[in-house]
Structure 1
Amino acid sequence: MTITRESVQELLKSEKFNDRITGINQLRQLDASVAFELIQPVLTDSNARVRYAAISQLDTIGDRDLPATLAILRDRLFNDSEPDVQAAAADVLGALKLTEAFEDLQQLYHQTPEWLVQFSIIATLGELGDLRAFPLLEEALTSPIELVQTAAISSFGELGDTRAIPILIPFATNSDWQIRYRVVQALARLGGAEVRATLEALANDTVEQVASEAKQSLAASCDNQ
């Protein structure tokens, strides 16, 4: 069956949930400009799973009209009733590097009671690459939710600001091995003599995944010298 603008549009207008999801998936096979036009109505669909699928797809077609995409994502960040959809909007803002939304992300992080939304905001800040995120990432390291802490560590590594090194090093002895694992990855990105000493210690970690990652990071740094 040939997928056309008309066939996809018919699916997206269907009253059946499965049809609308199928239509969203088939948008990938159309020209991005056409897909961006057709996806508009389902971005505010009555079904949260449809909205989630539609918002998530903006990371590949949203660059057709970045101002319009920014407005859409801001609306879903603050006005969608489902945390999954809000989280997806945050993810896409990072993927498209829409730094204009940094203050929106910061505001929502402090307003939302939903850990998933907080996690997605912190996780996307590294990808966003805006150095204004530094204080917010530092704050997230004190979150009672370990997944948020882990996301902050990873985002510090992506952000590439070496001021994070002395902040991250204490987490190298955290009781949660997954946090130590993320510390290895973040510090390896940041580099430096102080980082090397910590990675050498982590290369002897009791958890094989952590030790192996540290050894690989040390080997990679030697190869790059």
Structure 2
Amino acid sequence: MDRRFANIFGLTEEQAISLLKTSSDRLEDRCDRYVGASHLANFPTERSIRALIETLRDPNPATYHRIARRKAVESLGRLKAAEALPAIRACLVDEDCYTVENAVWSLGEIGTEDETIHEEIARLLARPGQNYRSIIRVLSKFNYKNALERVERLTESEDETVASAAISAIARLAGDYSGMNRVVELLSHANVNVRRACVQDLIDARYYDAIPHIARCPVSIVFRLRGIRSLANAGIGEGSITFAQIEPDLDRVVRDRPGDLNMVHEYDRTPSLEFAIGELYQTDFGRCYLASQTLLDVYPDRAAAASIETFEEKAHHDYGAHYHVIKLLGWLGGGDAYDFFVQQGLHNKAPQFQKSRAAAAIALGELGDRRAVPLLQECLSTPIFHLKYACLMALEQLGDTLGPEMAAGDEDRLIRLKARARA
């Protein structure tokens, strides 16, 4: 599990428990009980688990207590606290739909072979207002085939994220993959949340034919890499696919050129330079990629200066835009690009900017300056997959042969295979 953001609140276990044991009306910030419940996910101790269970059983109906209960349920799932199963199971009949949703998720994380619990979860598919997508995914995870007919009815749901999950579950529970093309088609949906959900459903169904389509889906590289890595590791592990088959798609995702994506948005007229730069700050990466391609095609002589100017104003606060600007400058080059990529990207250790480090590695490969070789080799010791893979690609572009030798024994299967393919 990625723990880079784990200690974001900076609390001790004792402090977090103390917050949970304090009524919200006695706290300086009423959200502090939520903070305490969230932070205890970092402490797999009997004390923390007991405090979280006590929070579940807190009958106080006040809003901030209810919110803390929701988070306590989730934290117990993150801790995989099997001793909390009875308390979490009791939450399945809670009046608060979000508490129920978190209880379903946590039961899926902890795991149980008790089919009476599986059936209680399945009955929630008939409860109005619930998150059916979450319920379907957990039933599929439990391989609860008695829910198959109820899940099948939701393959025609108006909510595409629910329909996608249901189709994936049918594939997993019944071995029927006939509907999976519908899920692949949803990778081109205009709504970014649908596209992200579909990637997860393709992972759940282990639908290896989707790998090239995921590589071209205009969502954040985080989602695409998660999808391809999960499917590649599963498929290679069971002998269904080879690294050589998926390497071009993995390279395409890590390089992340907008021209390699299937765009889902379009402009009705050529946008101004200012508008296109502003689109790099969108939360829907589909819009960011369209803007990047437009800047490369329409404003290649002005885009670098304009993006740097905006970068200095606000991109250092926006990790998505930070990533897109570094990528854009990697293709445009010029000026003090080398120092910029090293200082703003490759050496940026802030956890929210890790995508930018990989983007900088690719940019340094594009730049062709061999001063980057030892810096890229040094980054091969990082635990971050995206960065290591990008460094191997950049080192290959720079003509280095030592990097692949250094990574040939890496603990990550895909990094090992990439290194050995280039050694």
| 8 Å CA contact 1:91, 1:121 repeated in 2 | yes
CA distance in 1, matches of 2:174, 2:111: 20
1:197 matched to 2:187: no
Aligned position for 1:40: 17
Q: Which runs of 5+ in 1 are unaligned?
A: 1-22, 28-34
State the partner residue of 1:10: none
Q: Could you tell me which residue of structure 2 aligns to residue 71 of structure 1?
A: 50
Contact residue 122 and residue 155 of structure 1 kept, 8 A: yes
Return the offset for 1:85: 0.6
Query: Distance between the aligned counterparts of 1:43 and 1:155, measured in 2?
Result: 28
> How many residues get paired?
189
Structure 2 residue identity aligned to 1:123:
W
Q: How does 1:74-223 map to 2 (within 5 A)?
A: 74-79=53-58, 81=60, 82-110=65-93, 112-132=94-114, 133-147=117-131, 149-161=132-144, 163-187=146-170, 190=172, 193-194=175-176, 196-203=177-184, 208=189, 209=194, 213=199, 217-219=207-209, 223=235
Q: State the shift of 1:205 in Å.
A: 6.1
Specify which structure has the bigger relative contact order, considering alpha-carbon pairs within 8 angstroms and separated by 6 or more residues. Answer: 1
Q: Secondary structure at the match of 1:102?
A: helix
**Contact map agreement 1:83 1:116 (CA 8 A) in 2:** no
Alpha carbons 1:24, 1:39 under 8 Å: kept:
no
Q: Report the CA distance between 1:201 and its aligned residue.
A: 4.9
Report the TM-score, using the length of structure 1 for normalisation: 0.69
CA contact (8 A) 1:24 1:54 kept: no
- Structure 2 CA distance, aligned partners of 1:184 and 1:69? 38
Counterparts of 1:174 and 1:181 in 2: how far apart (Å)? Answer: 9
> Shift of residue 42 of structure 1?
1.7
Output the aligned Cα RMSD: 3.2
- Which entry has the higher C-alpha Rg, 1 or 2? 2
CA distance in 1, matches of 2:170, 2:122: 15
Q: How far apart in 1 are the matches of 2:91 and 2:198?
A: 37
Distance 2:178 2:102 in 1: 31
Counterpart-to-counterpart distance in 1, 2:56 and 2:144 = 27
Cα distance change of structure 1 residues 162 and 219 upon mapping to structure 2, 3 Å threshold:
farther
- SS of corresponding position for 1:106: helix
Partner SS for 1:141:
helix
Partners of 2:71 and 2:59 lie apart in 1 by 11
Please state whether the residue corresponding to 1:130 is helix, strand or coil.
coil
For the structure 1 residues 69 and 218, does the alpha-carbon distance in structure 2 shift closer, same or farther, using more than 3 Å as the test?
A: same
Native 8 Å contact 1:90 1:124 kept in 2: yes
Does the CA-based 8 Å contact 1:124-1:155 persist in structure 2?
no
Q: Is the 8 A contact 2:167 2:180 kept in 1?
A: yes
